[in-house]
Amino acid sequence: MNRMVFPLMRLWLIARNTLLESVRQRFFMLLCAAAAALGIAAWVFRDCSFGAPRTKFLLDGGFGALTFFGAVLAIVTVAQSFSWEIERRSALVVLSRPVCRMEFLLGKLAGVLALLFVFCAAGTGLLAGLVLWQQSGATESPAALPGDGGHVSCFAVVACGLVQWLRSGVLAALTLLVSSYAQSSLFAIVSGFAALAICSLEPFASGACQIAGPGWASGAVGAVGLIIPDFGLYDVADGVAAGGSLPASYLGGIALYSAAYVGFLVGLAVFCFRHREL
């Protein structure tokens, strides 16, 4: 029993300290304020939607801000938190105690995932509240707005926010892998944004090679596609903003997909960190 309790206690302490240190950073508060400001601005300027449904315009702007700032938060927080522990030699103090390197990495990632959950939950809650206000008749009745689109379920909005959190979690694990061998936080941050671009463009590259390339090119792209996460699978905000819903089968599948990639990336990070000299 103690063999299970003590590692969980160590993971909890590392995750809690990571979360508290990240929340105290002005960078986190700045990103929260910027994301909230863009979401509120999309609601304020919903009349300037250029013919698009108002609710769709609101959710497009809100989820766009949530996705962008969530990615920035995941990359920068992981890179800075991990690199600062190495540069300040505080990681040596932690690892000199009965804490293995795998527990150190898992605790760091758990703290960042908790931070991302708080960020996504707050942003999704704000969007759900604005959508409810928009559709409740506090502003104008949806029936009085021609072309304002169908009714958007708050459950679908919350589910979309959960999907964005899963996407940010995969990106955090990918940045953790880079940070496990990177010598500076700047390199980890730049590599994290490069990985974000690659994962976002992976569906387009796969489609182009399958159409124009020979058989060996399609096979190579398919092999690479198994290693690189496909962030196109997380792009469900447009469907939700148009009044669609996210089935339970999709939510379960994307959760397993994210968990598999997080486990794979963390395993690689543990391998790299164990062979790194501190």
Per-residue pLDDT band for 50 (boundaries 50, 70, 90) equals low
Task: Average the pLDDT over 162-190 and give the result.
Answer: 91
Average confidence score pLDDT of the chain:
80
Tokens of 57: 């315009």
- Tell me the pLDDT tens digit for each residue of 64-119: 888 999 999 999 999 988 888 887 777 777 777 777 888 889 999 999 999 999 99
Nearest-angstrom CA–CA distance, 209 and 228: 16
pLDDT tier at 143, thresholds 50, 70, 90? very low
- What is the C-alpha to C-alpha distance for residues 147 and 137, in angstroms, rounded to an integer? 16
pLDDT band for 147, please (50, 70, 90 cuts). very low
Mark 124-152 as b/e (b = at least 16 C-beta within 10 Å): bebbbebbeebbeeeeeebeeeeebbeeb
CA distance 96 to 104: 11
Phi, psi at residue 16, to the nearest 5°?
-65, -45
pLDDT of residue 146: 40
Q: Are the beta carbons of 265 and 195 closer than 8 angstroms?
A: no
**Which tens digits make up the pLDDT trace of 253-268?**
999 999 999 999 999 9
Cβ proximity of 176 and 78 under 8 Å: yes
Residues 6+ apart with CB under 8 A from 244: 156
Closest C-alpha to 197, from 236, 162, 228, 224 = 228
Residue 121: is its pLDDT beyond 70?
A: yes
Give the residue extent of every domain in the chain. 2-274
Region of residue 149 (phi > 0: left; psi between -120 and 50: alpha; otherwise: beta): left
Q: What is the DSSP string of 133-163?
A: HHHTTSS--GGGSTT--SPPPHHHHHHHHHH
How many CB atoms are closer than 10 A to CB 222?
12
Where does the pLDDT of residue 1 fall: very low under 50, low under 70, confident under 90, or very high at 90 and above?
very low
**What would the two tokens of residue 216 be?**
């060996």
